[in-house]
Amino acid sequence: MRARPVLYSYFRSSCSWRVRIALALKGIDYETIPINLVKDGGQQFSEEFQTLNPMKQVPTLKIDGITIGQSLAIVEYLEETRPTPRLLPQDPKKKAIVRMISDLIASGIQPLQNLSVLKQVGQENQLPWAQGAITSGFNALEQILQSTAGKYCVGDEVSMADVCLVPQVANAERFKVDLSHYPTISHINKTLLALEAFQVSHPCRQPDTPAELRA
């Protein structure tokens, strides 16, 4: 019998949320070990956690006897070892588009407005910096989705692109980005948030969610 996977996660981390969505979509039962990125100067910097993830980042997943960091690497591993339901289309062209959108968010938007970067730009510059990074990425993403979207980011099946989209829209809302300029992004996000996997994985419903933010 396989040991229960263990996810090192922070409730508000959008990268952790991606993995929680994928685990929920695939019906994988797992244990959560919260890593508070703010408390005690950041629990990700502890010696114990650094041995698990030398990048000192969440998410980190222990599964099948290995430890994986980086959310998209985790999702790809889950896809290859537990392929139902599919998060990557079989068609190579559609698969490339899903990966392109996922990378656009995971490499082109999220890291630029991440906690570690915001600390470097100074308190008074954090909001305009994050807004600029997200707006620049969303301008491109909205244009792409207008030609790829059906019900979801790529056609009518939930994919890894959708797993990346919803947490990034939540970040945009947190940083007060005007989403009225992005009707396609907003519509897909709303449709996805109605799905159970996106609800149970939501930051407001995690073991480490503070009481005042619980829903």
- Same domain? For 98 and 189 the reply is yes
More confident residue, 48 or 151: 151
- Same domain? For 109 and 146 the reply is yes
- Same domain? For 62 and 111 the reply is no
Task: Look at residue 128 and tell me if it is in a domain.
Answer: yes
pLDDT band at 40 (very low <50, low <70, confident <90, very high): confident
pLDDT tens for each residue of 74-92:
999 999 999 999 999 999 9
Question: What does the pLDDT average to over 71-76?
Answer: 98
- Same domain? For 115 and 52 the reply is no
Q: For residue 2, is pLDDT > 80?
A: no
pLDDT tens for each residue of 164-205:
999 999 999 999 999 999 999 999 999 999 999 999 999 999
More confident residue, 27 or 2: 27
- Same domain? For 187 and 120 the reply is yes
- Same domain? For 112 and 175 the reply is yes
- Same domain? For 96 and 150 the reply is yes
pLDDT tens for each residue of 21-31:
999 999 999 99
- Same domain? For 46 and 133 the reply is no
CATH code of 15's domain: 3.40.30.10
- Same domain? For 191 and 133 the reply is yes
- Same domain? For 15 and 49 the reply is yes
Task: Look at residue 1 and tell me if it is in a domain.
Answer: no
Share of the chain above pLDDT 90, in %: 89
Task: Look at residue 32 and tell me if it is in a domain.
Answer: yes
Q: For residue 1, is pLDDT > 70?
A: no
The whole-model pTM stands at: 0.96
CATH code of 103's domain: 1.20.1050.10
Q: What is the residue-wise DSSP string for the chain?
A: -PPPPEEEE-TT-HHHHHHHHHHHHTT---EEEE--SSGGG-GGGSHHHHHH-TT--S-EEEETTEEEESHHHHHHHHHHHS-SS-SS-SSHHHHHHHHHHHHHHHHHTGGGGSHHHHHHH-GGGHHHHHHHHHHHHHHHHHHHHHHHBSSSSSBTS--HHHHHHHHHHHHHHHTT--GGG-HHHHHHHHHHHTSHHHHHTSGGGSTT--GGG--
Question: What does the pLDDT average to over 107-133?
Answer: 93
Task: Look at residue 34 and tell me if it is in a domain.
Answer: yes
pLDDT on residue 41:
86
Mean pLDDT, all residues of the chain: 96
| Residue-range definition of the domain harbouring residue 64 | 6-85+199-213
Number of domains in the chain: 2
- Same domain? For 190 and 98 the reply is yes
- Same domain? For 109 and 148 the reply is yes
Q: For residue 39, is pLDDT > 80?
A: yes
